[in-house]
Amino acid sequence: MIGCPHLIQAGFPEPLIGSPAAPQALYPEASPADLRTLQAMSASRKSRIAAAAAEAAANDKLLAEIQGVFSVFDDDQRGELDEEEFISAMELTGHTKEEAKGMFKAIDEDGSGVARWAAFRKWYTNNYARFMEEAQRNMLEEAAEQG
């Protein structure tokens, strides 16, 4: 809200603009819940960009870690792992054997029996979050069925 000349022209003092009191001043009849919603919606663009950058950095860090482990298991440095090597590599990065098998199946679309780094990276950037959510949901369903 900073730099909103129409608010200044409307008589709102500049220090108020962008402060937590701004929504209350703009909407005096709003409920506390509505005011909290307005404050959340008015989070500065800078903080949203910073949060997105932090998430991207965390994803890049995880991908770099996985690439390092991938390279360690890629003995001939051809950029590919067979299923057993792939599962071992993913277990080192904290994934379960079942998760790693599911990843391998998704990555080895052509049935060649290897996971190539380029295919893994493409799969990771497009599907990883969705895959992990599905894996967690399946684990919860299995736990619920077992009682």
* 93-138 residue pLDDT tens: 788 899 899 989 989 988 999 999 888 888 877 777 777 777 778 8
Strands (E), the chain: 80-82, 114-116
Beta carbons of 107 and 120 less than 8 angstroms apart: yes
Percent of the chain with pLDDT over 70: 78
- Say if CB 42 and CB 29 are below 8 A apart: no
Domains of the chain with bracketed CATH: 5-41 (no CATH), 55-146 (1.10.238.10)
pTM tops 0.85, yes or no: no
Contact 29, 48 (CB under 8 A): no
